[in-house]
């Protein structure tokens, strides 16, 4: 049996500490030892949830993408509609808007849901945050292992067959790439917005974050790189498009969005 450890960051980094340790002779760790959500005020106000990837690999939890209603091609749009669509024995631990979408709430970047490609990989040039290259893809294989790859890196993996996404969502720009902040971010920028994103961070955790105050791209990326110790992180969206569902911290944004990404658990 795994040796389960609930990791935490120093309170100075703005993430609550909760150390717990279960040896092979102890009872099986609870779901709460694998994931948690919290609010922080440092280095700026933000809300976050993290989950240990072991909980996804052993089937205790599942990371899924959602877009349309089961019975129609109509977008779900809201966290309420998503929750209502789940089986009675499942619950939504937390969720966030996924990759960027158009006026019809359809994804503009690479999207895969349960192995079916909804939208092909978008490697085009263009304007807006999505095309502030390099951009990237959050994806997981059928076994539940989660990756964040720069889009051209993923293309090479798709071409040689080393990547077989079961779920995937493309957005941009990348925030952190191999431990370095996106090279086009300006530390002195004055462009501040509410922003949300996801990172693969220390101790094999997935970290989901939405700023609760307007921040620059550089500040947001710096949070992932330095405070949360993420080697790779991806911007999902910003402004009125940022949406977060985390009932354990009483967060339930009532917004409409395209594809959503969430962690599902047994009731």
What's the pLDDT tens digit per position in 216-256?
Answer: 999 999 999 999 999 999 999 999 999 999 999 999 999 99
The domain of 45 spans: 37-266
For residues 250 and 20, which has the higher predicted lDDT (pLDDT)? 250
Query: Does residue 107 sit within a domain?
Result: yes
Query: Does residue 1 sit within a domain?
Result: no
Check whether 26 has a pLDDT greater than 70: no
Query: Does residue 18 sit within a domain?
Result: no
pLDDT mean over 13-21: 35
Q: Which residues, at least 6 apart from 31, have a Cβ–Cβ distance to it below 8 Å?
A: 55, 60, 61, 93, 265
Query: Does residue 4 sit within a domain?
Result: no
Query: Does residue 87 sit within a domain?
Result: yes
pLDDT of residue 13: 32
The pTM for the full model equals: 0.87
Query: Does residue 3 sit within a domain?
Result: no
Query: Does residue 7 sit within a domain?
Result: no
Check whether 24 has a pLDDT greater than 60: no
Query: Does residue 10 sit within a domain?
Result: no
pLDDT-above-70 percentage for the chain: 88
For residues 211 and 18, which has the higher predicted lDDT (pLDDT)? 211
Structural domain total, the chain: 1
**pLDDT tens, 161-180?**
999 999 999 999 999 999 99
């Amino acid at each position: 049996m795994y040796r389960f450890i609930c990791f935490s960051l120093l309170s100075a980094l703005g993430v609550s500490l909760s150390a717990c340790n279960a040896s092979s002779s102890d009872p099986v760790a609870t779901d709460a030892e694998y994931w948690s959500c919290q609010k922080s005020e440092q280095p700026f106000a933000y809300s976050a949830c993290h989950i240990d990837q072991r909980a996804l690999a052993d089937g205790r939890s599942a990371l899924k993408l959602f877009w349309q209603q089961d019975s129609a091609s109509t977008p779900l749009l809201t966290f309420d509609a998503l929750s209502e669509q789940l089986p009675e024995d499942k619950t939504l631990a937390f969720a966030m808007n996924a990759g960027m979408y158009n006026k019809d709430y359809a994804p503009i970047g690479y999207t895969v849901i349960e192995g079916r490609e909804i939208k092909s990989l978008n490697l085009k040039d263009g304007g807006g945050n999505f095309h502030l290259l390099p951009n990237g893809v959050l994806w997981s294989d059928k076994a539940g292992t989660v990756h964040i790859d720069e889009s051209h890196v993923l293309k090479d993996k798709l071409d040689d067959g080393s990547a077989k996404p079961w779920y995937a969502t493309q957005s941009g720009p990348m925030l952190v790439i191999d431990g370095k902040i996106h090279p086009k971010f300006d530390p002195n920028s004055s462009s501040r917005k509410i922003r949300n994103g996801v990172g693969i961070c220390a101790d094999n955790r997935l970290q989901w974050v939405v700023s609760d105050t307007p921040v620059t791209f550089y500040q947001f990326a710096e949070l992932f790189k330095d405070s949360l110790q993420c080697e790779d992180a991806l911007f999902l969206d910003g402004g009125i498009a940022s949406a977060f569902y985390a009932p354990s911290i009483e967060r339930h944004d009532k917004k409409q969005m395209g594809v959503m990404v969430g962690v599902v658990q047994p009731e």
